[in-house]
Amino acid sequence: MAVKNLQVLRSKMKHAFNEAQFKTVHTKEIKDLQSAFGEYSLRDFMIEFISCLKIPLSYAKKLVSVERTLDFAAKFCVSFVPENEEEEDEDNATVDPLLNGIFEFIFKNHGVSSEAVRFRVCQFANRLLESLPPSAGLDMNLWNQLHKCMSERLKDKRPAVRAQAIMALRRLQDPCDKNCSVIQAMKFHLANDPSAEVRLSVLSTIATTNDTVMDVVMRTRDVSETVRRHAYEFLAEKVDVRILSIQHRERLLQAGLNDRSDVVKRFVKTKFLAKWLKSCNEDILSLLSILDVTNWTKPGLLELVLKCLCSKFEIEDLISYTELDKEAKTVPLASLTPERALFWRYTAQYLSEMDEGNSTEMMERILPNLSPMCDYIRSFFSSSYGNVQKDDSFSLNLERKFILKQLVEATKLYDYSDETGRSNLKDLLIDLLLSNVVEVDLVPAIVPILEGVIPKTVDFIQLISDTVEKIHCPCVSQKRPLPEWEVRERKIKKAKIRVEINEEIEKQENAIIQKDFLLAQTIKETLRNLESQLESLDLESFVETDTIKEQNDPVTLIKCLEIIVSMLQSSKIKAISPTLTNLREDFVMKCITVTDNYTVHSKSLEALALFCHLDKELAKTNFVFFFCVISRTTDEDLELGVSALKAIFDILCLFGIESFDVADMPEGFDDKPTEKERRSRIMDDVIDSVSTDDLESDSSGIAASHKEKKNVNLMTILTSLLDHKHSKMRSVAVEGLCKLLFLSKIFSPELLSRLVLMWYTPTSGADDENYFHQLMGTFFPSYAMHCEGAQESLASASLIALRTLMDAPDTSPLATVDLLSVSSFFLDLTRPGVSRAEPEVNMHNHMGIAFCQEVFESSDALALQTVLLRSLSMMDIALDDPLQKQQYTALHNKLTKFLSDKVCLRYLKKFYAKIQQNERLSDEMERSKDSDCLESKETDDLEATKETDDLERSKEQFERVVPDADEENVITLGPQRVSILLRMQRPLVDAPDVTVIGPSDESDDDFLETAKADITDKTKNSINGSPKSLEDFDVESPQFSRKRKFTKR
């Protein structure tokens, strides 16, 4: 066959590529190139095809025409692959020569220096693989080479390139292989890639396996709301709810329904829960059964889930799901399950809240009256708890407790207007508290309802006190044998009765002989009474007596203490009453001093702390006791120390730290004799437990060593707990100190600096790292925004933190902390506009002067000087005060002479240039204001003149009719002054950039130069501007993705 003219082939190729950019269906163009492929040699065809393909591969802009062109090229390359290729041995798999040549072209050019080309090459590889038939196979060498190239692109420095490389690896996954390298690489980028775009690509391509599902679940807590939403979408579409564990189901709903993003929250409410419900055949009770509601730790989350589910159904459907008895309006006890009890209770609550005007009618449709409801609860209690056995399973006990709790909480929906119903409910709740089978977990649900039933606080307190006394000291009936003297008396009585019986029998016989039957009948009745007396004397060998027996077992004491704690948490109780005093002295303090059970001690400490909340003097009296508990805390009774420390911080948050002094406590902290000796012993324990080494802190300098025990400072002891060996104690200490700072109970820049350095220290928070980081990330922005004096405190803490980092030895963990990062964090917290409590304060004006002065003082620390000067250029300084302008000018002149380092001088120059620019901007604003005032004044003068002329003309006309009319004064309005407010919106905290390994410049070849050379002499038109041929492609490649910063995950 004669060789065709290549010019014809080139013309056909250009025409096909040109037409492809305007169509979504390329059947005709593919057929034209297929016919041309058979007419020319493979080498000539590949040269022309690749020369046309290079042009769209050079574009960085995401244009529709470029996407269509690449789709066309990919479809044509795979058009020679059979659609129904039989599955053969992988070693014998064949590849079309055209497709093989295209892949070789991709392998050669995937690592060029141009970011646009790397992106398009990976994208084109993805399109090729997606266009292949499902049954198509790849040669093993080709598979390995493609896997190697795309794996290299996973290390690219551009997120878009990494995302396209992930997409290209989609069909190379092997879900059956647990060690699949492609899936492992995707899991790594899903968890660690700094780009949300890459993580999104992984979510859309990764195979669904048991291992990958857990990685996707973790992405529901991603920093990007888009990633979180797609993670929930992945789980809803590809993962059945039954595959997830109960703990993961609860966590997913907890995170999704409380997400800070409305987009994620809306998706979980509308789509995610709907998918789970659909998998249960639209049956709410089946979904609740799958969720295993009895084991959930957060009841409020259940109500949120039920609220979303109930909103999808009509009212009649919700009522039908409860399967109520129409007459009794209750669920039959035989069909009462935990899921049905929960759904019944919440449906009643949902209907009562749905329409306030019609809430009573809705309640009557699904709940009986209060008295029948109390009888129903008693019936369930007697049937379920009447035959409780010790060998009952844990799940059965859990279900009984859950159902009873739901039924009791349903009584909160009543208005208690029925006096009889209210009395029945009170008796029911008291009986439940007195019952031995009702566990402690139900007490917090019962006591608040009892508070609502009893309107008077005094009566409520007295009733609780009587209930606690009945539980702790119940009245028990006992049988004891009769004494000997009483036994003798009974024998004598029995002998007399027998004699009387014999006499009456003789009389009866004589009466019968004499036929006096009336007398015989009377004697018969007398004999019957005597015989009954004789029988009673034989049976009464024991006597019953009522005695009061004190129950000091841990279960009883914990239940009583839980009742007291639930009572003291009532908002109605605001002061100590005599009843409460007796309850504290006779029961709570006894539980602390007598029993040895750690759980009882912990609960009694909680009760004592609540008593202290009601009286300041009582808090002062018992304050040192809590420190004594902390000082004696061991690994076994750690919960006691945690409870005591929580009590201390609660008291300090309520009454303030100035009210307490651990060095001079009042006597009588436990109302016992020998108080002097005991208080002295306690104080020694407190001081000895806080050693001098613990009081000194290299990271903050706030804890000082005291020479005398009587001068021990309370804050020093509290801050020393930040270095406690137990993570729980550290967590409580951090949380308590943050509360004191937020409530403005203390003002301590040293403490703030220490908390920041603990946050930045790599080794801080080994066991409690997640909680500590979450707490710090929440506290500092809230503290900076809402607290008065926070800006000043943070400004002072910044220099303390920087000095501490600079003075840290090389062996200290603080030596690895970046000074500039810490400085930037403080600057972001103190920027103008951050504080809502002090919006007019610009703390950067004062921080700039302090930083300049610190530069003079740190002449021997070049690194600190560099950080300080660089921080100056990052400040938002607005100099409205002429005195401050003079200070900054003088400091600049002195620093210019003082500094010798070129880097420091460059930062100083940049800082001063920024100040001058702000001054020029301020001057321009003033001139703009003056110009506006002048223009407004001239305009008002012209308008006033015009109004005066009009008035004069109207006056002349008016005087013609009424000559004696008086002249009126003309009032002119002045100009309105316009103020210009410039606000810079910045993120609160800038996260560090993350650098990813990129391609080497040595991998570049003549690809880009050849592509540019092909287009340089062409006419440059927009690809969307109807180009006449492929030569009209513009080679311009602007940046297709902006550089972004991401918070540390």
Residue by residue, DSSP assigns 364-427 as: HHH---HHHHHHHHHHHHHHHHTT--TT--HHHHHHHHHHHHHHHHHGGGS----HHHHHHHHH
pLDDT in tens, 186-222: 999 999 999 999 999 999 999 999 889 999 999 999 9
Q: What is the pLDDT of residue 424?
A: 94
Q: What is the pLDDT of residue 827?
A: 92
Q: What is the pLDDT of residue 691?
A: 36
Band (pLDDT 50/70/90 cuts) for residue 422 is very high
**Phi, psi at residue 476, to the nearest 5°?**
-115, 135
Instruction: Please tell me which residue, 979 or 551, carries the higher pLDDT value.
Output: 551
Tokens of 718: 């509290």
β-strand partners of 545: 478
Q: What is the pLDDT of residue 767?
A: 53
pLDDT in tens, 487-525: 778 788 888 888 888 888 888 888 888 878 788 888 888
Instruction: Please tell me which residue, 129 or 1, carries the higher pLDDT value.
Output: 129
Q: What is the pLDDT of residue 1001?
A: 36
pLDDT mean across residues, the chain: 78
Q: State the average pLDDT over residues 869-890.
A: 85
Q: How many CA atoms lie within 13 A of 945 on its CB side?
A: 5
Integer Cα distance of 860 and 853 in angstroms: 14
Instruction: Please tell me which residue, 895 or 299, carries the higher pLDDT value.
Output: 895
Instruction: Please tell me which residue, 666 or 126, carries the higher pLDDT value.
Output: 126
Q: What is the pLDDT of residue 479?
A: 61
Asked if the model's pLDDT at residue 835 lies above 70, the reply is yes
* Strand pairing category for 542-548 and 475-481: antiparallel
CA angle at residue 27 from 24 to 30, to 5 degrees? 110
Q: Over the range 355-393, which residues count as b (16 or more CB within 10 Å of their CB) and which as e?
A: eeeeeeebbeebbbebeebbbbbeebbeebbeeeeeeee
Q: Mean pLDDT: which of 345-359, 459-473, 982-996 is highest?
A: 459-473
Contact 188, 202 (CB under 8 A): no
pLDDT in tens, 727-752: 889 899 999 999 999 999 988 899 99
Q: State the average pLDDT over residues 878-891.
A: 83
Asked if the model's pLDDT at residue 393 lies above 90, the reply is no
Q: How many CA atoms lie within 13 A of 624 on its CB side?
A: 24
Asked if the model's pLDDT at residue 52 lies above 50, the reply is yes
Q: How far is CA 57 from the centre of its chain?
A: 44
Q: State the average pLDDT over residues 152-173.
A: 91
SS3 state of residue 25: coil
Tokens of 428: 């029911």
Integer Cα distance of 455 and 451 in angstroms: 7
Q: What is the pLDDT of residue 666?
A: 35
Q: What is the pLDDT of residue 356?
A: 57
The set of residues, in sequence order, having a beta carbon less than 8 Å from that of 993 and lying 6+ positions away, is 1043, 1045
Asked if the model's pLDDT at residue 974 lies above 50, the reply is no
Asked if the model's pLDDT at residue 136 lies above 70, the reply is yes
Q: What is the pLDDT of residue 426?
A: 94
SS3 state of residue 543: strand
Asked if the model's pLDDT at residue 917 lies above 60, the reply is yes
Contact 218, 188 (CB under 8 A): no
Q: What is the pLDDT of residue 924?
A: 58
Band (pLDDT 50/70/90 cuts) for residue 797 is very high
Q: State the average pLDDT over residues 326-352.
A: 90
**Phi, psi at residue 479, to the nearest 5°?**
-105, 130
Band (pLDDT 50/70/90 cuts) for residue 359 is low
Q: HEC states along 144-155? A: HHHHHHHHHHCC
Q: Over the range 601-626, which residues count as b (16 or more CB within 10 Å of their CB) and which as e?
A: bbbbbbbbbbbbbbeeebbbbbbbbb
Integer Cα distance of 184 and 194 in angstroms: 17
SS3 state of residue 803: helix
pLDDT in tens, 90-104: 444 446 788 888 888
Cα dihedral 925, 929, 932, 934 sign: negative
Contact 775, 734 (CB under 8 A): yes
pLDDT in tens, 750-779: 999 999 999 888 765 455 667 888 888 889
β-strand partners of 480: 543
Asked if the model's pLDDT at residue 701 lies above 90, the reply is no
